[in-house]
Amino acid sequence: MNISSMSEWIFVYVSVWLFAILFCVIYSEIRRRRFEPKETDDRVFRCSDCDFVYTDDPTVERARCPHCGCMNDTFTF
């Protein structure tokens, strides 16, 4: 075995491991995106009386609390 063939084997060995790691990273990213919850356009509301946090349609400016019935404005974080 001469030096050039040994360096070629090392190159192939390292390349195979790097491609395997790259494949695992891409595969896990695809799975994460598939199972991750989608962002919604719903607005977030927080009741001023009972502090209940709830969502409603994006077209609603004010929404009634499902627990106590109080009308609330949108909540900004």
Element (H, E) at 59: none
pLDDT tens digits along 36-62: 887 778 889 999 889 899 988 888 888
Same domain for 1 and 31?
yes
What is the spatial distance between Cα 42 and Cα 39, in angstroms, rounded to a whole number? Answer: 9
Same domain, 25 and 48: no
Please state the pTM of the whole predicted model. 0.50
Residue 30 has pLDDT above 70, yes or no: yes
pLDDT of residue 1: 52
> Do 19 and 2 fall into the same domain?
yes
Neighbouring C-alpha atoms within 13 Å toward the C-beta of 8: 5
Residue spans of alpha helices (H) in the chain: 3-35
Same domain, 3 and 26: yes
Q: Specify whether the CB–CB gap between 61 and 47 falls below 8 A.
A: no
Say how many domains are in the chain: 2
Q: Do 28 and 1 sit in the same domain of this protein?
A: yes
Distance CA 18, CA 29 (A): 17
Per the structure, the complete domain to which residue 12 belongs is given by: 1-36
